[in-house]
Amino acid sequence: MQKSVYPSAKKLYLEAFPPEEQAPFLMLLWKSMKKSVDFWSIYAGNQWAGFLYIANDANLSYVFYFAICPEYRGKGIGSQALQEAQRYYAGRKFFLAIERLDEYAENYSERVKRKQFYLRNGFQDLHRHVQEGSVIYELLGIDGEVSAQEYQKLIRSYIGKFLYRSITMQVIDK
């Protein structure tokens, strides 16, 4: 990602993800300098339209963050970006976490739409939940199951051993 779009990416990031799901944006930028992290810009023609933030480890590629600007949503840009990413990461377990479907959540209908979007774009339910702090996510992926050990290893590799010890994370099979 080019430095010129950092302000737009930060604004979208802060708007698209609730505070309990956000890492410090500066940390994302710093970590994106690692060879194992990809921070892709998404364009609609010449206009910046969003981003994909992906951490890689072994044969895993994990979409930490994916966001499209509100004015470009519903126009197929997100689907095109995911299809391109699937081609780029072909042969790897390509996966992500979404907020679990909880009918009592105030954004339940949004969660259902999000899951339907990913299922339409080739993702499958991996039958595994991850609890990070107070948030429970469900894993969706392409090209195979992701074990609890693989997921934990990827997260440890991404954030480092020291920070890994300070996070509360639990992988739960459905």
Please check the confidence at residue 155 and state whether its pLDDT lies above 80. Answer: yes
Mean pLDDT (whole number) for 24-31: 92
Mean pLDDT (whole number) for 100-119: 90
Half-sphere exposure of 92 (CA within 13 A, CB side): 20
- Residue 19: other Cβ atoms inside 10 A: 6
Residue 5 binned pLDDT confidence (cut-offs 50, 70, 90): confident
Please check the confidence at residue 122 and state whether its pLDDT lies above 90. Answer: yes
> Cβ distance 144 to 164 under 8 Å?
no
Mean pLDDT (whole number) for 154-165: 77
pLDDT at 163: 66
pLDDT at 164: 59
* The two three-digit tokens of residue 86, written as one number: 């699937």
Residue with token string 């993800």: 17
User: Domains of the chain: which residue ranges?
Assistant: 3-173
Percent over 70 (pLDDT), the chain = 94
CATH 3.40.630.30 fits 3-173, yes or no: yes
pLDDT digits (tens, 9 = 90+) for 42-100: 999 999 999 999 999 999 999 999 999 999 999 999 999 999 999 999 999 999 999 98
Q: Which amino acid is at 106?
A: E
Cα–Cα distance measured from residue 26 to residue 125, given in angstroms and rounded to the nearest whole number:
31
pTM strictly above 0.95? no
Please check the confidence at residue 174 and state whether its pLDDT lies above 90. Answer: no
